[in-house]
Amino acid sequence: MGDKLISIAMATYNGEQFIVEQLNSILSQSYKNLEIIICDDHSIDATPAILKKYLQEDNRIKLFFNDTTLGLVKNFENALSLCTGEYIALADQDDVWENNKIASLLINIKASLLIHSDATLIDSQGTVINNSYTLYSKKNLEKNIYSYIIENNVTGCTALFSRELLTYALPFPKNILVHDWWLVLCAYKHGTITYLDHPLIRYRQHENNQIGASDTAKIHSFEQREKAYKKTSLFLKTLLNIPFFSVGEKTFIARLVQYYEDFFTQGFRFRSLFFHLRYFRYFNESKPFSYRLLGLCLSFLGSEKQRNLWKYLK
């Protein structure tokens, strides 16, 4: 399979601290037939200079600079639109790839539209935090469409997908919450998704992570929940206009939008409680049962009552 061109879509922004280690890990892949599309989102640190140096040293790199800062999702969309390979992998700027990442994913993707793998979690110094991101934070991988609509469980930087996926995913609709979530929804609706139970990247966790690995035992603050609910509601409204969702799926999405918007009511949310109870198995699937039960209880309370409750939890 060494004749297949693999594109690597990499989005960078002020990544000087870790980008050298990441680029070295990509360039040293055992699979050599690569094109590395790097879109820099108007970095103001040393990232552009580092990228230009690597551009001169390896002709597989193609480098593009945004005139203004577009944000993570739009920057990845730009990078994907420039890819020409038969298969495409997403790369963050702060991870470290195992030498056999591309080769292993390519061998195992077979007829699937997308494949993703486990990851080792490391800290800013490269010290291992956890040997399996899946066991740490993604315990349920048997997903259906309702699960994927409520919560994504595919980490983009571990994934490889067929170029065919771009015919469904590009251009990105507005208000896409996270680029890999959108790609996964497209992959699930138009093909199959495969999971490879082997860590193929070292997924770095640090204070500047745009997303990062979620702690399954952590209870998010009221402010975090409020912000997340607003963004998720906008994302779900966008999905209502996507033609490949069935009538039944759009009905579910509309009710989920209602669930998130009811959060901003002042009092009790009976409708949300019943909805959450009905689809309880799909909410926070990777979390401990106690966390999931707390989520069910909180679905009964509007924003003001939750705000008051959080004063006692702090």
Reported as a single tens digit per residue, the pLDDT across 144-173 is 899 999 988 899 999 999 999 999 999 999
Residue 226 has pLDDT above 70, yes or no: yes
| Domain of residue 112, CATH code | 3.90.550.10
Residue 294: predicted pLDDT? 87
Stronger pLDDT, 220 or 203, i.e. the higher one: 203
Does 156 share its domain with 244?
no
Does 10 share its domain with 39?
yes
Q: Give 216's pLDDT tier (boundaries 50, 70, 90).
A: very low
Does 260 share its domain with 149?
no
The percent of residues above 70 in pLDDT, for the chain, comes to 92
pLDDT tens-digit series, residues 31-55: 999 999 999 999 999 999 999 999 9
Residue 299 has pLDDT above 50, yes or no: yes
Residue 116 has pLDDT above 70, yes or no: yes
End residue of a domain, out of 178, 204, 230: 204
Does 150 share its domain with 28?
yes
Does 195 share its domain with 261?
no
End residue of a domain, out of 144, 174, 204: 204
Q: Are 154 and 116 in contact (CB under 8 A)?
A: yes
Q: Is residue 216 part of a domain?
A: no
Domain that holds residue 284: 222-313
Q: How many domains does the chain have?
A: 2
Q: How far apart are CA 7 and CA 21, in angstroms?
A: 19
Does 90 share its domain with 21?
yes
Residue 313: predicted pLDDT? 61
pLDDT tens-digit series, residues 66-80: 999 999 999 999 999
Q: Is residue 211 part of a domain?
A: no
Residue 212 has pLDDT above 80, yes or no: no
Residue 291 has pLDDT above 60, yes or no: yes
Residue 115: predicted pLDDT? 97
The percent of residues above 90 in pLDDT, for the chain, comes to 75
Q: Is residue 213 part of a domain?
A: no
* Lowest-confidence segment of 40-54, 77-91, 117-131, 209-223 by average pLDDT: 209-223
Does 16 share its domain with 95?
yes
Does 92 share its domain with 193?
yes
Q: What is the pTM of this model?
A: 0.90
**Average pLDDT in the chain:** 91
Residue 207: predicted pLDDT? 66
Q: Is residue 20 part of a domain?
A: yes
Q: Is residue 127 part of a domain?
A: yes
Dihedral angle at the C-alpha atoms of 98, 100, 102, 106, nearest 10 degrees? Answer: -140
Report residue 73 CA to chain centroid gap. Answer: 10
Q: Are 235 and 149 in contact (CB under 8 A)?
A: no
Does 50 share its domain with 150?
yes
Does 193 share its domain with 226?
no
**252, two tokens:** 């579910």
Does 24 share its domain with 171?
yes
Q: Is residue 240 part of a domain?
A: yes
Q: Is residue 175 part of a domain?
A: yes
Q: Are 11 and 93 in contact (CB under 8 A)?
A: yes
In 3D space, the residue among 83, 78, 74 whose CA is nearest the CA of residue 164 turns out to be 83
Q: Is residue 78 part of a domain?
A: yes
Q: How many CB atoms lie within 10 A of CB 299?
A: 22
Q: How far apart are CA 291 and CA 206, in angstroms?
A: 24
End residue of a domain, out of 154, 169, 204: 204
Does 64 share its domain with 197?
yes
